[in-house]
Amino acid sequence: MYHLLLGLSVSAWAEESTSDTPNVEIPFEKYELSNGLDVILSEDHSVPFVQVNLWYDVGSKDEEPGKTGFAHLFEHLMFQGSANHDTEYFAPLQPIGAQVNGTTNFDRTNYFEGVPSEYLPLALWLESDRMGYLLPALSEDKLTNQQDVVRNERRQRYEIRPYGMVWVWLFENLYPEGHPYNIPTIGKHEDIENANMDDVQSFFKKWYVPNNASLVICGDFDPAEAKTLVEQYFGEIPRGEDVSSLRDIEPAVLDSEKVIYKEDPRAPQSKVFVAWLTPKMMGEGDADLDVFSSIFAEGTDSPLVQSLVYDKQVAQDVEAFQYSARLQGQYIISATVADGHTTEEVVAAIDEALANIKKDGVTAEQVNISKLNWEKRFYQNLQTINRKADILNNYNTNMGDPGFVQKDLERYLAVTPESISKAMNSYLHQDKRVVLHITPPSPETSEDTTTEGK
């Protein structure tokens, strides 16, 4: 059973049976408007605050060739004003202490406003106006301005930041050209620059419709009042054409090891990234690789850190993680090379540590302690209304069930030493991976080989 760990040591917990799965839920009510909008209400009166959280089931994976970066571009355009509020979106929200933002990734786009409870009508009205009436207020000047903003963001986040191009280099080598994950969410400079009004209007009309959206209201509110407000503000927005965000695809396969060497003129030190293709989010082996990561690379006494940082002293730091996404996952190990050593030495040390743990396996105590840590994080994520709102929308959008929290936790509690060994041996092959060596320019190198989009 789940423990609060008050006076209970980790080792004592690890010796207990984990066969009894704790019962966890986020109370909610789900219903659908006539235009297809999913609405999820979850009361939490612990603080006088309410979170409005809206997910659109569209990400960069759903873009067309030659029109990359559109989902992220709209993340920006949605803050530039709509027909009935044709001014900067933050203006009425910042004075009341609201928490406002939006994010985009491969698989989805989301927007959220955390406001004092009495301002729920304002947050819902603003969110509904940009869903239903953004295009009448979208001008050529706004589009041009945000195209420039996004291109500058690409420069700042990827091209002129130390190691910023890592994710471009990794994903373009993990996935073949044409795969939805081959190009980063921010898109290509030329595609963003060439986007015209017809292109962006068509993209909005296709994806930013109520029947492709999920609205969560979580926190201190009255459900009857919330339902009235939702119907008032969102009910009149017309249903769009039925669309289907990409949910499944033939998994990409690496047939050999790809070794890439890149010079980064802004990198203060050499780094190594080793990446494998792994199961998709919620797929078999996904949770096992999460638990494996915490055993293998979390803490100073973990095998990977102990070997590379303390015993061999070839790395200053090292981390490993399973990056889950809807179509496929990626397992990534990264390390900063210690002075006097090379990227090749670090890769060799990673391979040795990985081979050793594959050979020896992990113990039941290691697995139980790691599961305890995952369970602790799991419960910590349920302690704030903004996280609960996002979790409900994540489950609803990706799994079709806002109440998936119990099944999600059970994935981690079901992990065993045997299932971790199966996941390691199924996916972490030395001959089917991408190895990226990044070094500062050598003294004789005079040209910048990484900066793009000038």
209 and 291 within one domain: no
Task: For residues 356 and 308, give the distance between their C-alpha atoms in angstroms, rounded to a whole number.
Answer: 13
**37 within domain boundaries:** yes
In a domain, residue 406? The reply is yes
CB 77 within 8 A of CB 125: no
Alpha carbons 28 and 41: distance in angstroms, whole number: 5
Q: CA 382 from chain center: how many Å?
A: 18
Do the Cβ atoms of 281 and 398 come closer than 8 Å?
Answer: yes
Whether 227 is covered by a domain: the verdict is yes
359 burial level (CB within 10 Å; 0-12, 13-18, 19+): exposed
- DSSP H/E element including 271: strand 271-278
Domain boundary among 185, 201, 234: 234
Closest CA to 76 of 211, 156, 159, 192: 192
Same domain, yes or no: 229 and 303: no
Would 84 be classed as within a structural domain?
yes
Cα(421)–Cα(200) distance, integer angstroms? 47
How far are the Cα atoms of 117, 166, 217, 220, 224 from residue 45, in angstroms, in the given order? 10, 43, 12, 4, 15
**CATH number for position 374:** 3.30.830.10
DSSP string, 232-268: HHHTTSPP----------PPP---S-EEEEEE-TT-S
Tokens of 450: 């990484």
The answer to whether residue 203 sits within a structural domain is yes
395 with 286, same domain? yes
Using a CB cutoff of 8 Å and minimum separation of 24, what contacts does 66-69 make?
A: 66/191, 66/194, 67/191, 67/195, 67/199, 67/203, 68/183, 68/187, 68/188, 68/191, 68/192, 69/150, 69/185, 69/186, 69/187, 69/188, 69/191, 69/192, 69/195
Q: Are residues 152 and 266 both part of a single domain? A: no
181 with 305, same domain: the answer is: no
Are residues 123 and 222 both part of a single domain?
yes
Any domain includes 4 = no
Say whether both 327 and 190 belong to one domain: no
**Same domain membership, residue 270 and residue 229:** no
Question: How far is Cα 412 from Cα 286, in angstroms, rounded to an integer?
Answer: 9
Q: What is the pLDDT along the chain (454 residues), one digit of tens a residue?
A: 222 222 222 333 333 334 466 788 999 999 999 999 999 999 999 999 999 999 999 999 999 999 999 999 999 999 999 999 999 999 999 999 999 999 999 999 999 999 999 999 999 999 999 999 999 999 999 999 999 999 999 999 999 999 999 999 999 999 999 999 999 999 999 999 999 999 999 999 999 999 999 999 999 999 999 999 999 999 999 999 999 999 999 999 999 999 999 999 999 999 999 999 999 999 999 999 999 999 999 999 999 999 999 999 999 999 999 999 999 999 999 999 999 999 999 999 999 999 999 999 999 999 999 999 999 988 999 999 999 999 999 999 999 999 999 999 999 999 999 999 999 999 999 999 999 999 999 876 544 443 333 3
Both 127 and 188 in one domain: the answer is yes
Q: Does the residue 11 lie in any domain?
A: no
Query: Are 389 and 112 within 8 A, CB to CB?
Result: yes
The phi-psi region of residue 297 (left if phi > 0; otherwise alpha if psi is between -120 and 50; otherwise beta) is alpha
Q: Are residues 307 and 394 in the same domain?
A: yes
Could you give the number of structural domains in the chain? 2
Is 50 contained in some domain?
yes
CB atoms within 10 A of CB 91: 11
Alpha helices in 361-451 (DSSP H): 364-380, 385-399, 405-413, 417-427
Domain coverage including residue 98: 29-234
